[in-house]
Amino acid sequence: MDIAFSPDGNTIATGSGDRTIKLWDVQTGQHLNTFTAQGAIWSVDFSPDGTFIASGGKDNIITLWRQDGTIERTLEGHTRTIWDIAFSPQGNFLVSGSADNTARLWKLDGNAESTVIQDNTEVIAVAFSPDGQAIVTGNAGKIAKLWNLDGTNLRTFRGHQAVIRDLTFSPDSQVIATASGDGLVKLWQRNSPFLQSFHNHNSTVWKIAFSPNGQYVATASADYTIKIWQQNGQLLQTIRLPAGGFKGVAFSPSSDLIATGDSQNTVKLWRLDGTLQQSLTGHQGSVQDVEFSPDGQLLVSVADDKTWKLWDFNSAGEASLLKTQQAHTIRIWDIDFSPDGSFFATASEDGRVKLWSREGVLLQTIQTQQNANWGVAISPDHQWLASAGRDGTVKLWNQEGDLLNTLEVEGNGLTRVAISPDGETIAAAGMDNTIALWTRQGEFLTKLYGHTSGVLSLAFSPDGQRLVSTGDDQTVIFWDLEAIATTDWLNYACQTVQDYLATNTNAIQEGLLATPPCR
């Protein structure tokens, strides 16, 4: 079921379902030795110096053999079939992938302690980078993941449509090749412009919010859950509804309370430990979005019933309804409070953005001519705002409703817009699976590719260094804006081409070379 060459190229080891490992002479084909294990063998690998042969399989045990058939040691810890094993380039570590949803990194000197790397499905394939600094795993969930040796997840690579069966690094450790049951081989850059992606929801992720203190991120999904994350991707809490999906989510200014809107027409207030503090009813349609005022005294909710509701908090932290307003003629998709708390904006499918005072008085109606408005954002200095439209444009307006600029992008419509904390960058989420970035002056910066379906929400971190996005592909992606800003895109593209030409068999056989400007 597996085969491995010795480092000197003179010997082949084969592992079989008949529980045997056999050694063969490469030149003559002569059978040299047979070892018998306790179960079917799924993987074999030679140590870099050729001294040992490692095997793993159905007995859940890794065995290190000498070439004469004697057992040097066994490594126990997995609880189900071991699908794949690989030595580190220096031979001091061994990585294994198992049906128990873990990979284990074994330190071979001393007492063979292992670092457990937890995945959410069976780990089918593993590989060490040639520089010895990272490992990559491929799982039954169609995903490859890059890890530090301490078990920290560095990157997640998505795109296959079936189980990942095998993977390897390029000789320079910068490109990862994955082979899948979907019949495709994909090449991935080890150091990509985005920071990290998570795939922990089971349905569309409608909304995302950063906590004002920058420590947490909350995601609202149609899978009946709100998930609270640390910025490093560690999942801290899952809040679950018995029925109906979440649509909107927002942190209080103190970062210790979360407001949610759901498809059961309800606004709920939660503590970070998942305790429900209060339910607020009254809407007659799905609550699409919620937003706290900057001072934490008010909460606004908007819904499919074309209304917004203004909720007031008393000294005990309990909310009560202050006002209901029939605000638009079709559902309201988005809401944003001005940073000074003096007004808020609503965006509706009726093609209008409306500005309202803190007390709920209509200040301005902006006929955006964008077909439908799914997103709105107010600038940090609260002097201008941006609207995202189904027509594929972002329009910038002053408070009087005067059009300042129109930012256009090719695609199938924009769903959300966000403005960086310094007011210098505008991001728009698209139904074409991308995120577009512009300067405040309207200069187009770049498009971010990573989602595989429409992007439905995005938010800047409070320090402006990261952008986080969610979408219909059930994925949450953190983008490293500093890395994106400093990336030499020509060099990045050329490196990708050169890595492909250096690692693709057909390209090598055909003698393909990069052309200027990449030569």
pLDDT-derived band at 95 (thresholds 50, 70, 90) equals very high
Residues 6+ away with beta carbon under 8 Å from 510: none
pLDDT digits (tens, 9 = 90+) for 273-308: 999 999 999 999 999 999 999 999 999 999 999 999
Retrieve residue 20's tokens. Answer: 């045997």
Residues 6+ away with beta carbon under 8 Å from 295: 253, 341
pTM greater than the 0.85 cutoff = no
Task: Break the chain down into helix, strand, coil percent, rounded to 5.
Answer: 5, 55, 40
Whether the upstream peptide bond of residue 242 has omega within 30° of 0, thus cis, is no
Q: Has residue 450 got a pLDDT over 90?
A: no
Q: What residue spans define the domains of the chain?
A: 2-197, 204-485, 487-519
The CATH number corresponding to 2-197 among 3.40.50.1370, 2.130.10.10, 3.40.50.300, 3.40.50.720 equals: 2.130.10.10
Residues 6+ away with beta carbon under 8 Å from 369: 351, 391
Q: Has residue 62 got a pLDDT over 70?
A: yes
Instruction: Give the pLDDT of residue 503.
Output: 44
**Cα distance between residue 296 and residue 314, in whole Å:** 11
Q: Has residue 500 got a pLDDT over 60?
A: no
Site of tokens 């220096």 = 90
Highest mean pLDDT among 170-174, 268-272, 478-482: 268-272
pLDDT digits (tens, 9 = 90+) for 338-363: 999 999 999 999 999 999 999 999 99
Q: Has residue 487 got a pLDDT over 80?
A: no
Site of tokens 């944003």 = 336
Beta-bridge mates of residue 45: 54
pLDDT digits (tens, 9 = 90+) for 198-241: 667 888 888 999 999 988 999 998 889 999 988 766 788 999 98
- Spatial CA neighbour of 201 closest among 456, 448, 374: 456
260 compared with 231, residue with greater pLDDT: 260
Are 216 and 272 in contact by the 8 Å Cβ rule? The answer is yes
Supply the mean pLDDT for the chain: 88
**Cα distance between residue 10 and residue 177, in whole Å:** 26
Instruction: Give the pLDDT of residue 501.
Output: 54
Sign of CA dihedral 159, 163, 169, 170: negative
Stretch 57-66: mean pLDDT, rounded?
94
CATH architecture assigned to 204-485: 7 Propeller (2.130)
pLDDT digits (tens, 9 = 90+) for 369-428: 888 999 999 999 999 999 999 999 999 999 999 999 999 887 778 999 999 999 999 999
Retrieve residue 232's tokens. Answer: 């490093």
φ and ψ at residue 359, rounded to 5 degrees: -85, -5
The count of other CB atoms within 10 Å of the CB of residue 314 is: 9
Residues 6+ away with beta carbon under 8 Å from 288: 247, 248, 261, 302, 303, 304, 331, 332, 333, 334
Contacts of the segment 276-284: beta carbons below 8 A, 24+ positions apart:
277/317, 278/318, 278/319, 280/309, 280/311, 280/319, 280/321, 282/309, 282/321, 282/324, 283/307, 283/309
The count of other CB atoms within 10 Å of the CB of residue 486 is: 9
Highest mean pLDDT among 59-68, 148-157, 189-198: 59-68
Instruction: Give the pLDDT of residue 486.
Output: 64
**Cα distance between residue 133 and residue 138, in whole Å:** 17
Are 19 and 39 in contact by the 8 Å Cβ rule? The answer is yes
φ and ψ at residue 143, rounded to 5 degrees: -120, 140
Are 387 and 353 in contact by the 8 Å Cβ rule? The answer is yes
Q: Has residue 195 got a pLDDT over 50?
A: no
Instruction: Give the pLDDT of residue 154.
Output: 83
Establish whether domains 2-197 and 204-485 are of one fold: yes
Residues 6+ away with beta carbon under 8 Å from 181: 162, 163, 164, 165
Retrieve residue 270's tokens. Answer: 């939660």
What 8-state DSSP symbol labels residue 495? H
- Spatial CA neighbour of 14 closest among 38, 116, 40: 40
**What stretch of H or E contains 481?**
helix 481-486
